[in-house]
Amino acid sequence: MDSTGSSNLKKIVAEKAVNDYVKDGMVVGLGTGSTAAFAIKRVGELIAGGYKITCVSTSGQTETLAAECGIKIVPLCDVDHVDVTIDGADEVDPNLQLIKGLGGALLREKIVAAATLKEIIIVDDSKIVAKLGTRSPLPVEVIPYGHSKTAYALGKQGCVPTLRTIDGKTFTTDCGNYVYDCKFESIDNPFFLESRLNVIPGVVENGLFLNTASTVLVSHPDGTITKMEK
């Protein structure tokens, strides 16, 4: 790898996404995570420069950063649709199928994505995989009540589920739920797995974002950016 740092690569790809896809007058979804943070800051600069942009958020963390950048967040229910959302991902396969949720915002991210006309995913090239599940675990959001029983059912799907904790305390999402990080050797049929997970009592949402991404922008160690589209 050359001297181009990881943070700078995130900044480059995030700013390109905003510059290429965010236009004056749009409703924009703001993603969650370290790469999306640079996109939020760039949107704030556009607004400060006179753009009229309506923004919705995928997490409390994003709302806090948006406020620091002078961005007013409106409730998702107050907009008819979202023109474009810019967000990160934990894995991207050759068909633009995604794993998301290591940042803990998968439920709200998926709700915003479902309301979005064009979902732009920004990642570095380490997130590109031949098959989902080979690099990162699959986050699954579950309700706290009886969560160990839900975890048992998750394990029956061929994974090792681990309750997410931070500093020794159970991680709780913005919606008050827990997250199990489910480690598979690989996910051979993500659409089948998604249907299996969604019928487990106690599962709220899973981190498989299938047929969601419109475009994936990928940053590389040499500073270049490539585009993946179906």
Contacts 24+ apart (CB under 8 A), 16-20: 16/217, 16/225, 17/86, 17/120, 17/122, 17/217, 18/42, 18/43, 18/46, 18/86
Q: In 26-158, which ranges are continuous DSSP H helix? A: 34-48, 60-68, 106-114, 147-155
Catalytic residue selected from 109, 119, 141, 205: 109
| Spatial distance between the Cα atoms of 122 and 63, rounded to a whole number of angstroms | 19
H or E element at residue 138: strand 138-142
H or E element at residue 11: helix 6-21
Q: Is 51 helix (H, G, I), strand (E, B) or coil?
A: coil
* Chain centroid offset of residue 216 CA: 12
68 is known as an active-site residue: no
Backbone angles phi, psi at 227, to 5 degrees: -115, 135
| Spatial distance between the Cα atoms of 81 and 117, rounded to a whole number of angstroms | 7
Active site residues: 109
